[in-house]
Amino acid sequence: MTNYAEFHQRSITDRDAFWGEQAQLVDWKVQPTHICDYSNPPFARWFAGGVTNLCHNAVDRHLKDRADQAALIFVSTETNQERVYSFRELHAEVQRMAAILKGLGVTKGDRVLIYMPMIAEAAFAMLACTRIGAIHSVVFGGFASGSLATRIEDAAPKVIISADAGSRGGKPVAYKPLLDEAISLSSYKPESVLLVDRGLVPMAMVAGRDKLWADLREQNMNTVVECEWVDATHPSYTLYTSGTTGKPKGVQRDTGGYAVALAASMKHIYCGEAGETYFSTSDIGWVVGHSYIIYGPLIAGMATIMYEGLPTRPDGGIWWSLIEKYKVTVMFSAPTAIRVLKKQDPALLKKYDLSTLKALFLAGEPLDQPTAQWISEGLGRPIVDNYWQTETGWPILSICKGVDDSPTKFGSPGKAVYGYDVKLLDETTGEELKGANQKGVVAIEGPLPPGCLQTVWGDDARFVSTYWTTIPGRMIYSTFDWGIRDEEGYYFILGRTDDVINVAGHRLGTREIEESISAHPNVAEVAVVGVADQLKGQVAMAFAVVKDASLIADEASALKMEGEIMKIVDKDLGAVARPARVRFVTVLPKTRSGKCLRRAITAVCEGRDPGDLTTMDDPAALQQIKDLINS
Ligand code: AMP
């Protein structure tokens, strides 16, 4: 086993040699002339001069050795479908989809928005985009028309690919009406909408704009679409994520750096080998779905499972049964999902042969000790917590199993991953905290390693001001997370420094929820905070000041208004963003300069001491919240 400290050190101090070697894990049409061009910080141009294609690396290059091996395993316990696509079949489907997109006028650099459930066609769509150099922008299927409209407006896609419906717990969830509404809300209009009709709900088609995938596929059964070779720095996709302000940011990813970062991570972190099966339980709407359902496993020549359904249906053993059936060697999930499974019959964990599984990786939110312990004992396999972000595309902190045999520690996502020069900084002075066990902001010295965001889509200035200028006196990337590091270099993540909350692994901006709630005609002002929750990690709680108190004079009318607000959020952002409760107050706790004391509200909701309140304008405001919580 390599000495990990040296391995990590070399990735920072001998950066170009290190990444130059990793670059050989992928295919290049033209080899890069520069490994990292950091002449214009904080913009890093990885593998500049290189020419490659993501879809080629994920699909075509495996045809030589493994054309008939499984590539994409689609399993839906919602519609009871199961289908294994070999690399050859995946290649054919991706070419058909690519031909359809070209036929709809999509060319290199055009955006294609994908608003789809977890079906194989969504994977074809993503790969077809990168095949022809189009930039995909996948929007999570759980988002509703308001969220979707903002993303359509920002991405300006030539084509949107969608479906009639998703399905949850056996019930169809219509997508098409939400999409139609989002398009009508957006001032930008796509030229075409391509629809996969699953036959779950009827779809109203808009003449001239809407086309059926099945019809166009039929016309392109044998159309050959070669990969469009693109510069390593050509954007492969954008993925929107929430931050402090209400407007989501389009995280923009490159091509060459991303391919190399994923290929290297499959080797050094996940230990996935070609011919094996990877099972990530995430959704393609999130970054984990991009990196570790679609691109990472396929680049490594592995089969990847795409699962549509709940972890508990038909029973809590479904995921374990898939491990047995498809001989899964690497599994990736989120703590919330494991907490859900923990409530199921423990015998289900022993019912299946899980001997192929090398490790279970968990990410997206803090992994609590009882959950880690339960699953570690139940599986008898290493449980590896990873910490990363949509922005980075692959882990910042982990135990890199392929090059480090250090043990994991409960509560810690491990050490800084190679390529990441992680620092803890003092929030007010920006000074580096070098000693052990000091709390600081987790920051990364530039350049960010390959695979991380290149910029914010269409807004370089926002990229710089959001991530690189928040720490006084330093041009360094802020993760917006608090952390500490122990004597052995293990980090512990202590929560966000900003107004982002994490509900069941879903990242939500409290400002977005506040903006949505403010649309209710009787809401004058509202504060949304994240409050600790046993199952979901955090839930959103809203405290609203009403314009006309007579409308919530009794409990029944207050409940009615709470219901109306929840409906607004459901319709605008989606049920994922719905607050657990909306409570009514006459005033919000604020500083004398008018800043809402969200951290104090959170503390009170969690039964903790709200800390220093000397700057608070009206102490009675916080007392009202205390009384509500204790009532
Ligand atoms: P997302 O961009 O949706 O992946 O969310 C990223 C945020 O989720 C991070 O900034 C952290 O706040 C949180 N997060 C992700 N992984 C972990 C982890 N392993 N432990 C603690 N927090 C995590």
Pairing of strands 192-196, 210-212: parallel
pLDDT at residue 38, rounded to an integer: 97
Q: Under DSSP, is residue 159 helix (H, G, I), strand (E, B) or coil?
A: strand
Give the residues surrounding ligand 1 with Cβ less than 6 Å away. 241, 287, 363-367, 385-390, 413, 479, 481, 493, 496, 502, 507
Å from CA of 33 to ligand 1 middle: 34
Nearest CA to ligand 1 atom 5: 389
With cut-offs at 50, 70 and 90, classify the pLDDT of residue 88: very high
pLDDT of residue 615: 81
CA of 130 to the centre of ligand 1 (A): 27
Of 133-142, 418-427, 498-507, which gets the smallest average pLDDT? 498-507
Please check the confidence at residue 243 and state whether its pLDDT lies above 80: no
Residue 480 CA: which ligand 1 atom is closest?
10
389 Cα: distance to centroid of ligand 1 (angstroms) = 6
Q: In angstroms, what is the span from residue 585 Cα to ligand 1's centroid?
A: 31
Cα(495) to ligand 1 centroid in Å equals 8
Residue 345, pLDDT above cutoff 90:
no
Rank 2-6, 231-235, 507-511, 535-539 by mean pLDDT and report only the highest: 231-235
- φ/ψ (deg, to 5) at 231: -60, 150
CA of 68 relative to ligand 1 center, distance in Å: 37
**Token pair recorded at residue 107:** 């060319």
Residue 48, classed as helix, strand or coil, is coil
The whole-number pLDDT of residue 471 equals 86
Local confidence band at 246 (pLDDT 50, 70, 90 cut-offs)? low
Retrieve residue 503's tokens: 């509900």
13: Cβ–Cβ under 8 A, 6 or more apart, which residues? none
Residues 195-221 pLDDT 10s: 999 999 999 999 999 999 999 999 999
Query: Could you tell me which of 481, 488, 501, 490 has the C-alpha nearest to residue 425?
Result: 481
**Helix-, strand-, coil-residue percentages of the chain, each rounded to 5:** 35, 25, 40
Average pLDDT over residues 287-298: 98
Instruction: Write down the pLDDT at residue 463.
Output: 97
For residue 390, give the ligand 1 atom closest to its CA: 2
Predicted confidence at residue 394, as pLDDT, reads 98
* pLDDT tens, residue by residue, 100-122: 999 999 999 999 999 999 999 99
Look at residue 1 in the predicted model and tell me its pLDDT: 55
Between the CA of 605 and the centroid of ligand 1 the distance, in Å, is 22
How confident is the prediction for the chain on average, in pLDDT? 95
Amino acid code (one letter) for 542 = A
DSSP class of residue 575 equals G
Residue 618 pLDDT more than 80?
A: yes
Whether the per-residue pLDDT at 239 is higher than 80: the answer is yes
CA–centroid distance, residue 326 to ligand 1 (Å): 29
- Ligand 1 midpoint to CA 205 (Å): 39
Question: Closest ligand 1 atom, CA of 241?
Answer: 2
* pLDDT score for 2: 64
Among candidates 395, 129, 113, 98, which has minimal Cα distance to 264?
Answer: 395
Angle subtended at Cα 275 by Cα 271 and Cα 280, rounded to the nearest 5 degrees: 60
**CA–CA distance from 373 to each of 279, 378, 382 (Å)?**
21, 8, 10
Whole-model pTM? 0.94
Mean pLDDT calculated for residue range 585-605? 90
Ligand 1 pocket mutation pick from 287, 493, 499, 576 by most atoms within 8 angstroms of CB: 493
Q: Which atom of ligand 1 is nearest to the CA of 500?
A: 12
Section 451-475 average pLDDT: 94
Identify which of 502, 508, 536, 576 to mutate to test ligand 1's pocket (most ligand atoms within 8 A of the CB).
502
Kindly state the average pLDDT of the residues 421-437: 95
Nearest residue (by CA) to ligand 1, atom 20, is 366
CA of residue 507 to ligand 1 center, whole Å: 8
Ligand 1 atom closest to the CA of 386, numbered from 1? 19
Residues 97, 19: Cα–Cα separation, whole Å: 33
Cβ within 8 Å of residue 85, ≥6 positions away = 70, 71, 72, 73, 74, 93, 120
Of 371, 389, 392, 512, best ligand 1 pocket probe by most atoms within 8 Å of the beta carbon: 389
Q: Which atom of ligand 1 is nearest to the CA of 413?
A: 19
Between the CA of 452 and the centroid of ligand 1 the distance, in Å, is 15
Nearest CA to ligand 1 atom 15: 364
For residue 391, the ligand 1 atom closest to its alpha carbon is 2
Among the residue ranges 9-13, 79-83, 497-501, 559-563, the one predicted with the least confidence is 497-501
Ligand 1 atom showing the smallest separation from residue 479 Cα? 10
484 C-alpha vs ligand 1 centroid, how far in Å?
A: 15
- Closest CA to ligand 1's atom 4: 389
How far is residue 204's CA from residue 176's CA, in Å, rounded to a whole number? 8
Angle, CA 121 vertex, CA 133 and CA 205 arms, to 5°: 100
Closest atom, ligand 1, to C-alpha of 288 = 4
User: What separation in Å is there between the alpha carbon of 85 and the centre of ligand 1?
Assistant: 32
Q: Is the pLDDT of residue 94 over 90?
A: yes
Looking from the CA of residue 495, the nearest atom of ligand 1 is: 12
Q: Whose CA is nearest to atom 1 of ligand 1?
A: 389
Question: How far is the centre of ligand 1, averaged over its atoms, from the C-alpha of 364 (Å)?
Answer: 4
Ligand 1 atom closest to Cα of 362?
19
Query: Using CA positions, which residue lies closest to atom 7 of ligand 1?
Result: 389
Q: Give yes or no for residue 245 having a pLDDT over 80.
A: no
What percent of the chain is predicted at pLDDT more than 90? 90
Q: What is the pLDDT of residue 591?
A: 85
**Which of 143, 251, 336, 365 has most ligand 1 atoms within 8 Å of CB, for mutation?**
365
Helices (H), 535-608: 555-572, 598-605
Nearest to 267 by CA among 328, 324, 330: 330
CA of residue 363 to ligand 1 center, whole Å: 7
Q: Indicate the pairing of strand 477-485 with strand 491-496.
A: antiparallel
Q: 307: part of which helix (H) or strand (E)?
A: strand 303-308
